[in-house]
A and B are shown apart, each in its own frame.
Chain A
């Protein structure tokens, strides 16, 4: 079955550590996105990529980094520079403009 896989589902990080969230899709979608969900704030865009080896900052990119070396993969690194990293992170992909996103099941990151 085609879909988006995010791993791990739950992740704990110590303050000062970098951590990488995985996102893999086998839908052959060109565009991929990372969103962050906080209570009462909806989904906010962190980074997106429309083609391999290219990505753009979203509204809240500070403290995050991404790579897009393969069409199927769009990992997100939460760096120690991110002040409030505890959140629910969602990865999504989209085939082209007039289609909606397909979302992964999310990763809950908690800083301890």
Chain B
């Protein structure tokens, strides 16, 4: 059963506009969340993280929002740039699970110049 879900397989956004990528999770024990960016045939690279004690974390153009009551997190990219075109994975981790992360299925973002 998929514990982390990204229901939008793809997203297209005009350059300069905001990209919003969404992620839902089912396990209320998850307390640490990450977003990764992945290009084809490469390993994912870390983008931004948030722990459950926060509801927002910002790093430059990237902001992650966490809504614990809704079990929902989102990644905002403002402004979007063509180089942001990639697959984005959200991941979640809980204490006592061997420190493993559970990954969503990914959202492919295309930023149109």
Contacts and interface: CB of A to CB of B under 8 A. Distances in A.
Interface size class of B (residues with CB under 8 A): 20 to 34
A106 B46 contact: no
Contacts of A41: 105
B99 A50 contact: yes
Given A40-B9, A98-B32, A100-B34, A48 B49 contact: no
Interface residues of A, number: 31
A20 interface: no
B34 A50 contact: no
B98 A43 contact: no
B44 interface: yes
Nearest to B90: A42
A94 B36 CA distance: 14
B43 A103 contact: yes
Contacts of B106: 42
B43 A105 contact: yes
Interface of A: 4, 6, 9, 31, 33, 35, 40-45, 48, 50, 56, 58, 88, 90, 92, 94, 96-98, 100-106, 108
Interface of B: 2, 4, 6, 9, 32, 34, 36, 41-46, 49, 51, 89, 91, 93, 95, 98-106
